Amino acid sequence: MELKRVVVTGLGTINALGHNLKETWDNMLDGVSGAGPITHFDASKFKTQFACEVKNYDPLKYFKKPVARKMDKFTQFAIIAADEAVADAGFNLDKINLDRSGVIWASGIGGLQTFRDEIVDYTQNDFTPRFNPFFIPKMIADIAAGHISIKYQFRGPNYATVSACASSSHALIDAYNLIRLGKADIFIAGGSEHAVTEAGVGGFNSMRALSTRNDDPKTASRPFDAGRDGFVIGDGGAALILEEYEHAKKRGAKIYAEFAGGGMTADAHHITAPHPEGRGATMVMKVAIEDAELKPEDIDYVNLHGTSTGLGDIAETKAVVNVFGEHAYKLSISSTKSMTGHLLGATGAMEALASIMAIKTGNIPPTINHFELEPLIDSKLDFTFNKPKKRNVRAALSNTFGFGGHNASLIFKKFE
């Protein structure tokens, strides 16, 4: 069968760099770090005392108090990002087929803060079972997709994807595949996370996964740098409107880029560590390029997973050279996690947004906080260190890799 074309017609986000797309993109190009001391809780006893929190966030600016109380913050971020993306797409909801419009929304963890609060209340009340009736509907990872669907009356496919840090990339790939197979016309797809909590920070600290550079949070996320000591956890969400091309054309929609292909593989190696030679990462990029019916030399920009961890950065850059060969040295590559922090289940959508904006504007966002390159990383690669660069981007590839060995790569290309 002939597969349909899929385009991106709306974007939305809330994260440590901004409460909307414009603020976020402007700060990315300015090389702003979203990291700072944790304000959500007293982190003084934790090994890591900083994160990329959403700054100046007041839920009452977006929701009435009774509504906000029924939603974990990860769901609030989901709705805020989706609202901006829907507005950006310029839909007339009375003129689209809501039965062919769906929502696939990801979260790696879901309502972690809600779970923590309910258990603390339980233990502090002599283990008396007085649980909030909204405990389960606030906590479960699929609830954000449900809220978005209810708000917009999208009655097509509606579910969540959960695959750690690859979660929202999988959400986008699923939406892409359903549209190109003719199963739907429109999807709101993306992911959100609120894991800057005692449990989130404490849990990742126990794994020695987080940076502990408490004396200098803004330079703590330093992908590919010899001095990196772990990732910086971040909060937020990002949404994309994916739409069947003829449907978008008929309604006169603006088009940011074409969703050209996606790849999904598994390392089948270790629950948290990547394959040391980047085996799964190599395969997932090859699968994505093949799915997009492109050649490696057609790619101009790669948004790397680039978490600022010891093993991950080395394995991923090996994989890039494995896939692209000599063309690897002609690519522009960067890790926007150096600015946003690691949004866990939302990171795929966040970095898809950055990749699309690189295509749309001809600007490569930088990898900030570079001081000295890791000796085991190929020095001939162009990491776009510290400053953005102008470049015509024909196609961009974005990587996400999750605990459990889950790998996903997305390819977007300039719309023609």
Q: Catalytic positions, please?
A: 165, 305, 342
Instruction: Give Cβ neighbours of residue 254 (< 8 Å, ≥ 6 apart).
Output: 9, 90
Q: At what angle do helices 279-291 and 310-324 cross, to 10 degrees?
A: 40
Dist CA 190 CA 202 (whole Å): 26
Backbone φ and ψ of 103, nearest 5°: -135, 125
Instruction: Please tell me what DSSP assigns to residue 416.
Output: -
- Burial class for 116, CB neighbours closer than 10 Å (0-12, 13-18, 19+): middle
Instruction: Give Cβ neighbours of residue 222 (< 8 Å, ≥ 6 apart).
Output: 228, 308, 338, 369, 370, 371
Residue 116's alpha-carbon distances to 69, 120, 174, 197, 245, in angstroms, are: 15, 6, 31, 9, 43
Q: In what order do the strands lie in the sheet with 301-303?
A: 158-161, 101-106, 186-193, 236-244, 6-15, 257-266, 406-413, 395-402, 301-303, 332-334
Instruction: Please tell me what DSSP assigns to residue 180.
Output: H
